[in-house]
Structure 1
């Protein structure tokens, strides 16, 4: 799996994401967020366990960031699991790698 360690400024539009073919995981948050930093070991472990190659895009979120607003993001981190541009799972402030691994598995079903 392609775990990404750092949030990047918003570079994708909703149209880009909706047009994406295959699996994609969007993670909304910021590099300075304590909840986001605390979740990283579990997210990284789940990606390492899953064994498939799924792009992982960390989207730096905040006021005025359109992509996060289009998904109704309210708490960080929020992981949105997409297949062919359609949401198949969402985890808000995940606790443990098990739920993340299960959501990743849904992308390969």
Structure 2
């Protein structure tokens, strides 16, 4: 089972904005090759950070309003939220160490 959850327009505020821990939101799409490559990396990171942070995915094809709100121009794009605010953005395929380091800096 994946440690990575999903969120959408309806649950975004509850899952992300009102979270009491850092949240990584991965904006992705089914047809995106680099997004599929990133998925197992995010699973690993989620398993290692455990309860200290949340990792959620947003399908840009199904949630265009969210993608537009956060200025998503290319995918994968990861936005790291702290206290309901975007704190850092990583665009493109990133390594596990970089993702984990960014989450730890926000914890």
Q: TM-score range by the shorter chain?
A: 0.7 to 0.9
CA distance in 1 between counterparts of 2:60 and 2:106 reads 24
Unaligned residue ranges in structure 1 (runs of 5+): none
Unaligned residue ranges in structure 2 (runs of 5+): none
Q: Report the RMSD for the aligned CA atoms in angstroms.
A: 2.6
Show the 5 A alignment for 1:7-46: 10-12=9-11, 17-46=16-45
Conserved in 2, the CA contact under 8 Å of 1:30 and 1:36? Answer: yes
TM-score, scaled relative to structure 1 = 0.75
Conserved in 2, the CA contact under 8 Å of 1:27 and 1:80? Answer: yes
Q: CA deviation at 1:93?
A: 1.4
TM-score, scaled relative to structure 2 = 0.76
When the two structures are aligned, how many residues end up with a matched partner? 105
Q: CA deviation at 1:51?
A: 4.3
Alignment match, 1:82: 81
